[in-house]
Amino acid sequence: MLLTRLLNACHHFPGFVYAGARLCEVLHTIQKFFDLIGTQRAERIEFVCSDMWKPYLDLIKKNCTGALNILDRFHVVAKLNLAIDQIRAGEARQPIADGYEPVLKKSRWCLLKRPENLTDTQRIKLREVLRYNLKSARPYLFKEYFQLSCTWKTT
C-alpha cells in the first residue's frame, strides 16, 4: 500500500519524492521503491525532501544522483543548536581558567531558545553575551538569520 502511494505520487509529480520518516519508515522500503521505479526514473527525480539522518542522505545520494535534497528547517536548526552548545561549553571554561569573569555562565538557554521565548532575565543575559562578541555569538546570530530567512508563507 505504501509503495503504491509513493508510485502514484511519483507518477503525478515525476520530479518529487518525499522520503521523510513518516512516509517511508524503513530504509528497505525506500530502496525497494527506487528499485521498483528503476534507475532511469530515479535519476529524473529533481527534488527530495528528507531529514538529516545519514542513512537517508546516503540512499538519496545513491539513487537520485541529480536531485536537490531539501532538508527540513527543524533538523537544520537542531544541528545549529548542537554546534552553538558545543562552542559555548568550550568557550565557557576558558575565561574561568584564565581568571576572568564567567560571562557565559547561565547563558545556555539564552543562546538556544528563540528570542520570543526568552524570559526577561534571559533576554538581558543574551544582550550581555552578544556585547562581548564571543565565538558563541557568531553561530547564534547565524542560526537566527537562518530562522528569519526560512519564514516564508505558503498559499
Cβ–Cβ < 8 Å for 125, 92: no
C-alpha cell at 89: 561549553
In the three-class reduction of DSSP (H, G, I as helix; E, B as strand; rest coil), residue 71 is classed as strand
Same domain, 63 and 78: no
Same domain, 33 and 67: yes
Flag whether 91 is in a domain.
yes
Choose among 112, 146, 116, 117: nearest CA to 129: 112
Give the residue from 55, 71, 87 where a domain finishes.
71
Question: CB count, 10 Å around CB of 16?
Answer: 15
DSSP state letter for 67? P
Same domain, 9 and 67: yes
Same domain, 60 and 81: no
pLDDT of 26 strictly over 80: no
Give the residue from 71, 101, 132 where a domain finishes.
71
Give the residue from 71, 95, 119 where a domain finishes.
71
pLDDT of 155 strictly over 60: no
- Residue 133 phi, psi dihedral angles, 5° rounding: 55, 50
CA separation for the pair 124, 140 (Å, rounded): 15
Flag whether 155 is in a domain.
no
pLDDT of 1 strictly over 70: no
In the three-class reduction of DSSP (H, G, I as helix; E, B as strand; rest coil), residue 50 is classed as strand
Summarize pLDDT for 85-144 with one digit per residue, the tens. 999 988 888 766 777 777 888 889 999 999 999 999 999 999 988 988 888 889 999 999
Burial group, residue 42, by CB count within 10 angstroms (0-12, 13-18, 19+)? buried
Flag whether 16 is in a domain.
yes
Number of independent structural domains in the chain: 2
Flag whether 154 is in a domain.
no
Same domain, 65 and 125: no
Give the domain extent around 20. Answer: 2-71
